[in-house]
Structures are given as structure tokens and as C-alpha cells.
Amino acid sequence: MPSSHPPVVQISLDLIHVNEALDTARIAVEAGVDWLEAGTPLILAEGLHGVRALRAAFPNHPIVADVKTMDGGYLEAEMMAKAGATHVVVMARAHAETIKVAVKAGRDCGIKIMGDNLGCEDKVAASRMMEDLGVDYIVHHTGYDERNGAAAAGRGRLSPLDDLEAVVNSVRIPVEAVGGLTLEEAVEMPKRGAPLVVIGAPLAIDAHSFKVAAGDLKGLLSEITRRVRE
């Protein structure tokens, strides 16, 4: 069932050089992308400096800091907020207290907290638990290594679509589905109840080199943003 939350297109800047991230973000903004994500590789490479650079270059765009917090929930969320992030990601597999204090930091700092169910055996229960603890969004996530491992072992293609409907129906807050979606799958997300459309690997980012994917990135993102809003 479609979500009542307006569609949002987010680019995942899973890059390791801040200049490449800024250049890619400029292309994305020109194509109509709404949110910019400082991906985990960028945060590992550049830390708070990468988030600050994105905020300085794009003062009016929401910035998601994908820190994948597992501990120190208040401090990490607070640090990212002070650097200019508007959204910070905490993991469902963290201790419940970590999620609670990340949520408190979000309230104190005026940012939103996104709860990521990556690696959870029961993603429906994990998503419901995070909503109960106060997160603002659910990141329904089939991970990079998880997908590659399944493919290498001949177990077929894993995708967040496998249990997306159950997750969407289990919570009242907005959901985004992450993990190797095709273009056609991505643009269908709002109709499937996941209004936050994340474009990363393999569409915008090369899934092996963590550099910008070959091809017409602006054209791709323009098509996605147009179709998502139709």
C-alpha cells in the first residue's frame, strides 16, 4: 500500500574521497535528488570533515550520516548533528539503550534518527522494536556482503523486496529499502509503501570499486526522480 509520506529520492555517497563525493552530490542535486547521504565509506575515510563539507556545499539539503551506530549512541548522533547532518543511522542490533540514547540525542539536537535492521534474523520484529524505542524512520536493509555471499554460494539473489511488505505493514513510520535494487525496483518503492528511495550501488556507485558508476549519472538520477514523483 502506498505511504502517505511524500516520496524522497536519496543518493548514497558510498565514496572514499570527499571531492568525488561533492562532485557526485552536485550532479545529484542538479538531477533533482532530495537527500544526500554521507555513506559509511565516506565517513570512514573523511569522518566529520566529510559531513561538514557536504553541509557547506549544500546548505539547504538534508544530509544523512550513515554511521551505523552500535555504541555511544548519544555522542555519535550529537557529533554528526553538530557537523551538519540532519539524519543519523543507528543499528537495530545495537543494545536497546544505544537506540534510546540516539533517539534522545536526535530530540535534543533537532535531527531525525533512522533505525537500520541490517543483519537481523527477524526484520519485522526489529523494525517494530526500533519504532517502539522512538526512531523516526526504518532502514530496511539487505547488506552488501550478505548479497554477495548468497550469490557466490548459489543461493540466488537476496533483496529487501523479499520481506518489504511485512516490514512496511508492521510499522507506522516511513520506511526506506536498501540493497542492490534495480532501477525499476527503485522507482516502485513508493507504491510498495517505502517512500524513501535510496540510489546507491549498483545504480549510482560501482559495487566493487566504490567509485561513481560508469554512464550518464545525471540522466539516470533525473529519470528516477521524475518517475518517483509521477
pTM for the structure as a whole: 0.95
52 in a domain, yes or no?
Answer: yes
Secondary structure of residue 121 in the 3-state scheme: coil
User: Of 207, 216, 161, nearest to 184 (Cα)?
Assistant: 161
10 Å CB burial of residue 131 (0-12, 13-18, 19+) is middle
What's the total number of domains in the chain? 1
User: Of 52, 64, 41, 28, nearest to 136 (Cα)?
Assistant: 64
CATH classification of the domain holding 193? 3.20.20.70
Residuewise pLDDT in 10s, the chain (230 residues): 567 789 999 999 999 999 999 999 999 999 999 999 999 999 999 999 999 999 999 999 999 999 999 999 999 999 999 999 999 999 999 999 999 999 999 999 999 999 999 999 999 999 999 999 999 999 999 988 888 787 778 887 788 999 999 999 999 999 999 998 999 999 999 999 999 999 998 888 887 788 898 899 999 999 999 999 98
1 in a domain, yes or no?
Answer: no
User: Of 218, 117, 104, nearest to 176 (Cα)?
Assistant: 117
10 Å CB burial of residue 58 (0-12, 13-18, 19+) is middle
What b/e string do you get for 93-130 counting C-beta neighbours within 10 Å, with b at 16 or more? Answer: bbeeebbbbbbbbbeebebbbbbbbbebeebbebbbbb
Domain span at residue 195 reads: 8-228
